[in-house]
């Protein structure tokens, strides 16, 4: 398969966070060769004792050193949590060369390359959900469809089952009757939020994740959805755990509904000291058009440190995996 390309059409190398550096074992240094006298076996024993003593001292020093250095991986208390938000574009027969079957493998490879702990997805139809579940071996998901049960588009939360355990989860509707299938305010369609309480298996930290897709038509619905989301986070997060919100909000940063959210949460893009890729996230599958509108978000509660943020523009043969760029952030929970 051709390599990933940037939006400029050039072949791009790995750009994901967490690229490992090759390590050299401490015993592979250039030690001077030791001489052994032929007239006695005592020198061999002496050399062995000295080597063992040196190895013991070296091992002790390495242990003490590793205890003092705060690594950001390997299960330490501040190991980054990688979070992705991805509108995968629903399976539409009208998409021509961009139909789901023509881009799904590219999308899966992109997710596997970055391998987030948690991925909030949007516009996922049941057949797409089944495909992603089969292809993403390390992942499970939580969430139901917006039409109830397994029906309609999902805003599923995928999580790496090797690294996280689900402690609780659920789905609610963005409407005044949030506990049942419903369409809220002036929205064109039913809209949902899928949430989960996760526990990390390495650090034993718990946190909450919320994933959503705001309406594309109703302005009132988007404002009220933001208010409802904030209220539901407050109700569900009784232990005041760190919170991560992912979603296609169909809103640019200068809108009233985003202001409602950022009064309570922090925009990871704005907080990140290191950013990669364009600000805009919507392309409509147009490879040559600039992505000027940022409508896909990762937000976090106060105290969550944002290490870096990327908008992923990977393409193959001038074709994107979706009509939205996924966004990914590395976070450190308080």
pLDDT for residue 186: 99
Alpha-carbon distance values, 50 to 36, 43, 45 (Å): 13, 10, 9
Q: Over 70: is that where the pLDDT of 58 sits?
A: no
Q: Over 60: is that where the pLDDT of 70 sits?
A: no
Q: In degrees rounded to 5, what are phi and psi of residue 78?
A: -110, 25
Q: What is the pTM of this model?
A: 0.79
Give the dihedral of Cα atoms 326, 221, 263, 121; nearest 10 deg: -20
Q: How confident is the model at residue 12 (pLDDT cuts 50, 70, 90)?
A: very low
Reply yes or no on domain 81-332 having CATH 3.20.20.70.
Answer: no
CB-CB contact of 155 with 129 (8 Å)? no
Q: What is the pLDDT of residues 228-270, one digit of tens each?
A: 999 999 999 999 999 999 999 999 999 999 999 999 999 999 9
Q: Over 50: is that where the pLDDT of 26 sits?
A: no
CB-CB contact of 183 with 189 (8 Å)? yes
Going across the sheet that includes 81-87, the strands are: 139-142, 157-160, 118-122, 81-87, 327-332, 305-311, 275-276
- Compute the average pLDDT of residues 178-185: 99
Element holding 49 (H helix, E strand): helix 42-68
Strands 275-276 vs 305-311: parallel, antiparallel or unpaired: parallel
Q: What is the pLDDT of residues 204-230, one digit of tens each?
A: 999 999 999 999 999 999 999 999 999
Give the number of other CB atoms < 10 A from CB of residue 159. 24
Alpha-carbon distance values, 332 to 43, 111, 244, 245, 296 (Å): 54, 20, 11, 15, 21
Q: What angle do CA 73, 75, 22 make, to 5 degrees?
A: 40
Considering only CA atoms, which of 97, 89, 105 is closest in space to residue 283?
89
Instruction: Please count the helices (runs of H) and the strands (runs of E) in the chain.
Output: 6, 13
Which residue in the block uniquely carries the two structure tokens 């469809």? 145
Strands 192-200 vs 164-173: parallel, antiparallel or unpaired: antiparallel
Alpha-carbon distance values, 51 to 55, 58, 59, 103 (Å): 6, 10, 12, 57
Could you give the 3-state DSSP secondary structure of residue 206? Answer: strand
Alpha-carbon distance values, 103 to 98, 127, 141, 142, 228 (Å): 6, 14, 21, 24, 34
Cα–Cα distance for residue pair 119/44, rounded to 1 Å: 58
Strands 296-300 vs 243-248: parallel, antiparallel or unpaired: antiparallel
Q: What is the pLDDT of residues 74-116, one digit of tens each?
A: 445 568 999 999 999 999 999 999 999 999 999 999 999 999 9
**Domain range annotation of the chain:** 81-332
pLDDT for residue 77: 56
Which residue in the block uniquely carries the two structure tokens 């190991």? 79
Q: Over 80: is that where the pLDDT of 45 sits?
A: no
Could you give the 3-state DSSP secondary structure of residue 199? Answer: strand
Could you give the 3-state DSSP secondary structure of residue 20? Answer: coil
Helix, strand, coil distribution of the chain in percent, nearest 5 = 25, 25, 50
């Amino acid at each position: 398969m051709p390599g990933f390309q940037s939006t400029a059409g050039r072949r791009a190398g790995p750009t994901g966070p967490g690229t490992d550096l090759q390590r050299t074992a401490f015993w592979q240094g250039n030690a001077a060769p030791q001489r052994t006298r032929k007239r006695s076996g005592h020198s061999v024993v002496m050399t062995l004792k000295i080597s063992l003593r040196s190895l013991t001292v070296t091992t002790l020093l390495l242990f003490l050193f590793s205890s003092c250095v705060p690594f950001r991986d390997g299960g330490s208390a501040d190991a980054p949590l990688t979070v992705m938000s991805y509108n995968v574009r629903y399976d539409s027969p009208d998409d021509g060369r961009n139909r789901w079957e023509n881009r799904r493998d590219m999308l899966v490879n992109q997710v596997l390359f970055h391998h987030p702990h948690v991925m909030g997805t949007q516009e996922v139809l049941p057949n797409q959900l089944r495909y992603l579940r089969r292809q993403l071996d390390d992942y499970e998901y939580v969430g139901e469809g917006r039409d109830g049960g397994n029906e309609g588009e999902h805003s599923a939360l995928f999580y790496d089952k090797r690294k996280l355990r689900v402690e609780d989860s659920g789905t609610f509707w963005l409407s005044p009757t949030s506990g049942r299938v419903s369409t809220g305010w002036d929205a064109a369609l039913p809209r949902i939020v899928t949430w989960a309480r996760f526990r990390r298996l390495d650090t034993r930290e718990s946190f909450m994740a919320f994933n959503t897709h705001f309406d594309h038509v109703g302005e009132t619905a988007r404002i009220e959805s933001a208010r409802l989301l904030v209220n539901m986070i407050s109700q569900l997060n009784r232990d005041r755990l760190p919170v991560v919100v992912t979603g296609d909000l169909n809103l640019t940063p200068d809108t009233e509904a985003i202001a409602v959210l950022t009064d309570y949460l922090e925009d990871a893009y704005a907080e990140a000291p290191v950013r990669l890729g364009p600000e805009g996230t919507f392309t409509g599958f147009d490879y040559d058009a600039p992505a000027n509108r940022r409508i896909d978000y990762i937000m976090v509660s106060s105290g969550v440190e944002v290490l870096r943020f990327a908008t992923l523009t990977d393409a193959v043969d001038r074709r994107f995996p979706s009509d939205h760029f996924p966004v990914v952030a590395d976070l450190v929970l308080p």
